[in-house]
Structure 1
Amino acid sequence: MTSITLFLILITLSSLIIPYFHLPLASSSLISPPSNQGQWNLLQPTIGISAMHMQLTHNDKIIIFDRTDFGPSNLPLSNGECRMDPYDTALKTDCTAHSVLYDIYTNTFRSLTIQTDTWCSSGSVLPNGTLIQTGGFNDGERRIRMFTPCFHENCDWIEFPSYLIERRWYATNQILPDNRVIIIGGRKQFNYEFFPKTITSSESSPSSIHLPFLQETNDPNENNLYPFVHLLPNGNLFIFANKRSILLDYKQNRVVKEFPEISGGDPRNYPSSGSSVLLPLDENLNSIEAEIMVCGGAPRGAFEEASKGNFIQALNTCGFLKVTDSNPNWIMKNMPIARVMGDMLILPNGDIIIINGVELGTAGWENGRRPVLTPVIYRSSVTVTESQRFSIMQRASRPRLYHSSAVVLRDGRVLVGGSNPHVNYNFSGVEFPTDLSLEAFSPPYLSPEFDPVRPIIRHVTSYILGYRVFYYVTFTVGKFGSASDVSVRILAPSFSTHSYGMNQRMVVLKLIGVTEVNFGTYYATVVGPSTQEIAPPGYYILFLVHEGVPSSGTWVQLM
């Protein structure tokens, strides 16, 4: 059972808490402070590879990788090493890197070594902080790879050949309450399996589990790849593929419910490439509500039309489905900008940012046109009127098309990278050259105008009473209103690739009270997640939010 934690904000630290340290807004391009439409900073003009896949780790580094069958990258492997792969379709001997470890604190990176092809693979972070990375293309399709964060310069990928039961290319991962990872679908894979492998009493060896829903939602353009998967508070899985969605009891391999089709009849999964999040779960409610948000994508037939040079307008709608209702139905809202290949991420204050992508076409080689350079923020608060829901942010200077990705950082910025619509790292003679840079977008809440109400976490203490954990978070703030203006939230960072953040979730912790300990210093007492279904074990970033403005976060670990 998950520990229930109380946080005091100043903040004392226990064994469940990793100490907080301040992160400067590192940038190789220092510019003026963010306006109320946010601000872009160039961090690295090149990291040598394209950021197709990204995962933030609990030591404030980001694992980034692309694929091995592009040909040589622009970053040599360290110490003159080379990767030997007789099955690689591009280079049998490759002395360049296809993965890097980016250090947020120092704004530096180093090469990592991936042995087999990770193109269009999936991942989850285990409770101990190890990234478990699954599948890929060609000789990587049945591989498991592990990366365990470390505080020295020697950690690297470890690979396990032929571990997966089935080929996993364009599959989706989800961490489960019992510490396992479920791996769902993939190209021509209408089934799921688990890591570690599961053997039933009737089997002599583990096998995958057939899921007819994935076969039913497959079409000629395969718009059920990278299905959207969210763990719900009742322990079942919400799975969205193409335009349909179900509630799956994975323990019994039983579809508990099928929800109505999303309005409009258009697919939302890869290569139509919309995106999805589970909106923040609030433990302060008498009954926790779970609401799914699905936005953007390309209309049916867009992939086929793009191959003919006809780039169709992307979808401009978001669908909202409150799956905890007794009779849930999709509610549709219009975004300010149509978008396909957009990344949706939960920001520290609970808002949703939609970033990257294009207005015309769809995912795939050369299939996108008219880049969307302006992020959009959706305000999820119940107090916001419908006319205030969507806000258009500061325009970026760099297009982020196919194979771009984005992650939220502990200091509240959004890091984006990639955009590689060309094989073999083509940098010239094309409409959208390969982009190897990293940028950070600072949302409006990072503007200095909010400094008077911005909380600073000083200390976190946790006490465990039975299975309940109480967190005491000590914080300071220049201008404090009332306890009703404060919330404490934990965010599970996503494994981001192909416009979808796997395992991403936010929980608003139950607030017991806020007490002033001396002038300008307060502590908040909160109760940690009540069940593992609400927050599976693992590392989370804890944020304190005051009047909609978040603090920098601190890492906590739920055991």
Structure 2
Amino acid sequence: MNILIFFLILTSQIIYNLPITSSQLTDPTPYSGNQGQWRLLHSSVGISAMHMQLLRTNKVIMFDRTDYGPSNISLPRGQCRRDPNDAALKVDCTAHSILYDLGSNTFRPLTVHTDTWCSSGSVLPDGTLVQTGGYNDGDRVVRTFSPCNNDYCDWLELPNYLIQRRWYATNQILPDGRVIIVGGRQQFNYEFYPRSSQNQGGPRTIWLEFLRQTTDQDENNLYPFLHLLPDGNLFIFANTKSIIFDYSQNAVVRELPNIPGGDPRNYPSTGSSVLLPLDENTPSNGSIEVEIMVCGGAPRNSYVLALHGEFINALGTCGRLNVYDPNPRWLVELMPVPRVMADMLLLPTGDVIIINGAAQGAAGWENGRDPVTKPVIYRPSEVLNHRFSVMIGSPRARLYHSTAVLVPDGRILVGGSNPHAYYNFTGVEYPTDLSLEAFSPPYLSEEYDPVRPRIAAIDVVFGYRQLISVEILVPESLSVRVLSARLVAPSFTTHSFAMNQRMVILKLIGVTHVAAGSYRVSLVGPSTAEIAPPGYYLLFVVHADIPSSAAWVRVQ
């Protein structure tokens, strides 16, 4: 690699050939003068999108539960689903899953045979979505979806593959390409996909005492927050507590301090969480800084109070924790408005968008009030007390069972909201919403096009620690000190948590001026599979806080 870099220096006009750090990215987008833009894509896609996953084909798979009765979209070719265990319809000729095409703004129905209610998922290194669990006859089912370039791919189901029922569990892709599945209702344990055998005794689940310790009378530890750390361990947050966990040895490596305030952050007091970007441009003698952020939730007892018609204010705080600090302490910050059931997504800029949710109540049917329709963008690198910016609001409430994902052009795709046991469109305060919207953050404004990079050519396979070349076009002159390249793992989003989401800021080696407005950027692939597990990622090039559209790359 060093010889190749030396060759580039000799044969090209090098603009910059030293590592840069994220602290040098000092030209922020002026969010104060731009609040983004909403666009309604479809008034109805036929289902309420309880779960979403972006696939490498630029299509987004969405699905709801199956046991609420008919949806508003029929299965193709007159097909019907026959399920004697279904609580609502034994014969159902409507679809409960769709595949949405970002490029054409069209969608088609998919077939799920068993109940996917409150399930979880991850994408394997080959791009296959593995979705696990659900309810009733679906609680031990594994379903897979392999992306294709035609209209024939559909869900495949593996009945009774899971060892335990998984309802409200969380998944995380691991460095070796396996998926760990943690928790679920009354499941204080974890297991793996594919199944793992222990000492020739066959597949088994592994007890996790932390989950038993964090449950309470309202549970408040469902859909625990999982983040894979650069040392290969897991960060697990449930209720108010968090640990660093070695899943290979079933050992707690470190107990971290409780989040201040004593109020729960997991379902049904649903908050959200992100792992802030991992920057590989750290000094050679330093380690990557790892910070976790947890925002929103509901005060203790909010769920029971909501069941009895009393809706109290949601939590208005975020906690931020450096998990590798010798003496870690939560930094608590106040959001512009309290929020429960909000989604948190990493933007290409490394900022965090907080979107959807309510200002009162808790998660669950009929339990939320006062929709919060204005997204908030949080800038981790800004000075304290100046990190939040309020965006323009949507005309639509997105409450329980709403979702959001980042898509390759930098927009946020938003759908779902069904706070009822069945689809209910009339006579209720918050009707079931089958629409699909997109929110465009301020960085997509045309006024920033002169400095916006465009990816012209790229190595589509990234090896670990290998040199990578990306050719970009920038209409105006390039400022290297505000240039970066970022890998983003698309998330499986449900119930206000974006599973498997992560961003890696790649090590920048140099930039070569090729021609007018054209540059070759030299990068180094991720250091380890613990930092970036194998699989498909979105690569964004960001210049002066303005991102390109992403290119798909495969890390292996």
Q: Percent identity?
A: 64
| C-alpha distance in 1 between matches for 2:465 and 2:264 | 43
Deviations 1:410-432 (A, max 9, x none): 00000000010112211000000
Paired AA for residue 181 in structure 1: V
Contact 1:462 1:472 in 2 (8 A): no
Of 165, 168, 184, the match for 2:166: 168
| Partner of residue 121, structure 2 | 123
| C-alpha distance in 2 between matches for 1:173 and 1:423 | 25
| Partner of residue 209, structure 2 | 212
| C-alpha distance in 2 between matches for 1:461 and 1:118 | 37
| Partner of residue 15, structure 1 | none
| Partner of residue 22, structure 1 | none
Contact 2:198 2:204 in 1 (8 A): no
| C-alpha distance in 1 between matches for 2:452 and 2:478 | 12
Paired AA for residue 547 in structure 1: A
| Partner of residue 14, structure 1 | none
How far 1:471 sits from its partner (Å)? 1.1
Contact 1:171 1:185 in 2 (8 A): yes
Contact 2:61 2:97 in 1 (8 A): yes
How far 1:463 sits from its partner (Å)? 8.5
| Partner of residue 332, structure 1 | 332
SS across alignment from 1:79: helix
Paired AA for residue 524 in structure 1: V
SS across alignment from 2:443: helix
SS across alignment from 1:215: helix
| Partner of residue 521, structure 2 | 524
How far 1:388 sits from its partner (Å)? 2.6
How far 1:35 sits from its partner (Å)? 7.4
Establish whether residue 504 from structure 1 lines up as the match of residue 519 from structure 2. no
| Partner of residue 488, structure 1 | 485
Establish whether residue 355 from structure 1 lines up as the match of residue 352 from structure 2. no
| Partner of residue 539, structure 1 | 536
Contact 1:268 1:298 in 2 (8 A): yes
SS across alignment from 1:388: coil
Contact 1:133 1:146 in 2 (8 A): yes
| Partner of residue 442, structure 1 | 440
Unaligned runs of 5+ in 1: 8-33
Contact 2:402 2:494 in 1 (8 A): yes
| C-alpha distance in 1 between matches for 2:315 and 2:475 | 43
Paired AA for residue 451 in structure 1: D
Contact 1:193 1:207 in 2 (8 A): yes
| C-alpha distance in 2 between matches for 1:410 and 1:400 | 22
Contact 2:183 2:222 in 1 (8 A): yes
| C-alpha distance in 1 between matches for 2:244 and 2:356 | 29
How far 1:464 sits from its partner (Å)? 7.8
Paired AA for residue 151 in structure 1: N
| C-alpha distance in 2 between matches for 1:190 and 1:463 | 38
| Partner of residue 226, structure 1 | 223
Establish whether residue 288 from structure 1 lines up as the match of residue 288 from structure 2. yes
Alpha-carbon distance change, 464 to 506 in structure 1, aligned in 2, over 3 angstroms: closer
Of 262, 274, 279, the match for 1:277: 274
Of 246, 249, 260, the match for 2:246: 249
TM alignment of 1:339-418, pairs within 5 A = 339-381=339-381, 384-418=382-416
How far 1:134 sits from its partner (Å)? 0.1
SS across alignment from 1:452: helix
SS across alignment from 2:265: coil
Paired AA for residue 244 in structure 1: K
Deviations 1:58-77 (A, max 9, x none): 00000000000010000010
Of 465, 475, 478, the match for 1:478: 475
Paired AA for residue 88 in structure 2: A
What TM-score comes out, normalization by structure 2 length? 0.93
Paired AA for residue 551 in structure 2: T
Alpha-carbon distance change, 366 to 546 in structure 1, aligned in 2, over 3 angstroms: same
SS across alignment from 2:385: helix
Contact 1:56 1:493 in 2 (8 A): yes
Of 548, 551, 555, the match for 2:548: 551
| C-alpha distance in 2 between matches for 1:499 and 1:464 | 30
Contact 2:461 2:555 in 1 (8 A): no
Number of aligned residue pairs: give it. 526
How far 1:324 sits from its partner (Å)? 1.5
Contact 2:461 2:554 in 1 (8 A): no
How far 1:482 sits from its partner (Å)? 2.2
| Partner of residue 112, structure 1 | 110
Contact 1:462 1:469 in 2 (8 A): no
Establish whether residue 319 from structure 1 lines up as the match of residue 319 from structure 2. yes
| Partner of residue 198, structure 1 | 196
